């Protein structure tokens, strides 16, 4: 009986998350109501409240799961090896492609800017490990500014890629980001 309840609970949460993402795709977070989510999911409000305290709680859980998955992926690779850096970026892009609707929505203009900053901070922390682990002459000061520049550019490339329907493969985008990050724009002359 317990397994059946767990499956039902998991299903309900998934339906609520999907309904929320669909509504967030259409309009800003501040304009979405719990009633809309429940109507779209065909679930009553009391069921919603048995899983989430409010819409912000639902949004935070979706974002926290993504941040956790991204952090795990980033932690699985050696950032100082160029080959592994490309694989890491490719795995991140594959994750975003597999979770396309959520990713496109959360990185869009309707997405939570705080979430986007958290993703950038996560990427920047891992980028700093890479820059400082290379044994280069980069000072912490230079590494910090360089990582900010690389991460912000990379995030905008990913946002553009998501917004335009993932036309290029994750591998192509990963190689482009890695080449620009490690070799600069001269890699494309």
Which residue carries 């699985």 as its tokens? 76
Residues 188, 179 contacting (CB under 8 angstroms) = yes
pLDDT in tens, 106-146: 988 888 888 888 887 887 777 667 656 555 555 555 777 87
Write down the pLDDT at residue 68: 92
Q: At CA 39, angle to CA 35 and CA 43, rounded to 5?
A: 100
Radius of gyration of the chain (CA): 19
Query: What domains are defined for the chain?
Result: 1-52 (1.10.10.60), 58-188 (1.10.357)
Q: Is the dihedral of CA 142, 145, 148, 153 positive or negative?
A: negative
Neighbours of 34 (CB within 10 A): 16
Write down the pLDDT at residue 82: 60
Sequence length of the chain is 189
Write down the pLDDT at residue 180: 82
* String of DSSP letters for 90-134: HHHHHHHHHTHHHHHHHTSTTS-HHHHHHHHHHHHHHHHHHHHHT
The Cα 71–Cα 61 span in angstroms is 15
pLDDT category of residue 177 using cuts at 50, 70 and 90 = confident
Residues 23, 15 contacting (CB under 8 angstroms) = no
Residue 183 has pLDDT above 80, yes or no: no
63-102 burial by CB neighbour count: b if 16+ within 10 A, else e?
beebeeebeebbeebebeeeeebbbbbbbbbebbbebeeb
pLDDT in tens, 4-17: 668 889 999 999 99
pTM, rounded to two decimals: 0.77
pLDDT in tens, 39-82: 999 999 999 999 999 999 999 999 999 999 888 887 776 656 66
Neighbours of 40 (CB within 10 A): 15
Write down the pLDDT at residue 146: 78
Mean pLDDT of 80-96: 78
Write down the pLDDT at residue 33: 96
pLDDT in tens, 140-164: 557 778 777 888 888 889 889 998 9
Mean pLDDT of 174-181: 84
Residue 134 CB partners (closer than 8 Å, separation 6+): 80
Residue 165 has pLDDT above 80, yes or no: yes
């Amino acid at each position: 009986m317990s397994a059946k309840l767990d499956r039902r609970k998991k299903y309900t949460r998934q339906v609520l998350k999907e309904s929320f993402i669909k509504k967030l795709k259409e309009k800003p977070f501040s304009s979405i109501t719990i009633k809309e989510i429940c109507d779209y999911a065909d679930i009553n409000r009391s069921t919603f409240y048995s899983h989430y305290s409010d819409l912000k709680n639902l949004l935070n859980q979706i974002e926290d799961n993504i941040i956790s998955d991204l952090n795990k992926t980033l932690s699985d690779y050696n950032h100082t090896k160029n080959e592994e850096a490309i694989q890491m970026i490719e795995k991140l892009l594959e994750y975003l492609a597999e979770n396309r609707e959520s990713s496109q929505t959360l990185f869009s203009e309707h997405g939570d800017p705080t979430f986007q900053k958290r993703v950038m901070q996560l990427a920047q922390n891992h980028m700093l490990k890479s820059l400082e682990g290379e044994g280069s002459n980069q000072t912490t000061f230079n590494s910090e500014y360089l990582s900010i520049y690389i991460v912000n550019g990379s995030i905008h490339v990913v946002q553009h890629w998501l917004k335009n329907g993932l036309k290029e493969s994750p591998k192509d985008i990963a190689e482009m980001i890695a080449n620009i990050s490690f070799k600069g724009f001269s890699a494309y002359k």
